[in-house]
């Protein structure tokens, strides 16, 4: 719960809940976003929502839905046949080293699918 509250209440978290690549950097409209962090957070929030009281559960579910909706937008969701076969665009692995910067990542796709399955199992 402390991690969920940290991420959801962080002053640098953008309104669409897709975090910037590092919560400690000075951010502006050009700061890279991290779809992998968002996918991990969405999946975790959906799982966590099962174990908390109703008001917290609703908060976490709503945040996860917002993240999934935004990851499913044209900004982050790759078109079929593009993006090297990956599902999500715009993840950041290790910015300071200049590796995996603004690129698709296997674990971003994994947690995105995991979150979608959790969402489906929760609501459908």
Per domain, the residue ranges of the chain are 32-123
pLDDT at 14: 95
- Per-residue pLDDT reduced to its tens digit, 28-42: 888 999 999 999 999
Question: For 40-49, 77-86, 95-104, which range has the lowest pLDDT when averaged over its residues?
Answer: 95-104
Decide if pLDDT at 66 tops 80. yes
Which tens digits make up the pLDDT trace of 73-83?
999 999 999 99
Q: What is the pTM of this model?
A: 0.94
**Mean predicted confidence (pLDDT) in 99-107:** 90
Please report the pLDDT score of residue 79 as a whole number: 96
Measured distance CA(60)–CA(46) in Å, rounded: 7
32: left (phi over 0), alpha (psi -120 to 50) or beta: beta
In this prediction, residue 110 carries a pLDDT of: 98
Res. 96: pLDDT tops 80: no
């Amino acid at each position: 719960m402390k991690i969920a509250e940290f991420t959801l209440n962080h002053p640098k978290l953008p309104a669409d809940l897709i975090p910037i690549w590092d919560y400690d950097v000075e951010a502006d409209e050009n700061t890279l976003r991290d779809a992998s962090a968002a996918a991990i957070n969405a999946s975790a929030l959906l799982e966590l929502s099962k174990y908390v009281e109703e008001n917290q559960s609703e908060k976490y579910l709503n945040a996860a839905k917002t993240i999934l909706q935004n990851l499913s937008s044209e900004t982050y969701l790759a078109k079929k046949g593009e993006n090297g076969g990956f599902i999500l665009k715009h993840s950041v692995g290790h910015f300071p080293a200049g590796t995996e910067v603004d690129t698709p990542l296997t674990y971003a796709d994994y947690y995105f699918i995991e979150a979608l399955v959790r969402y489906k199992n929760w609501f459908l």
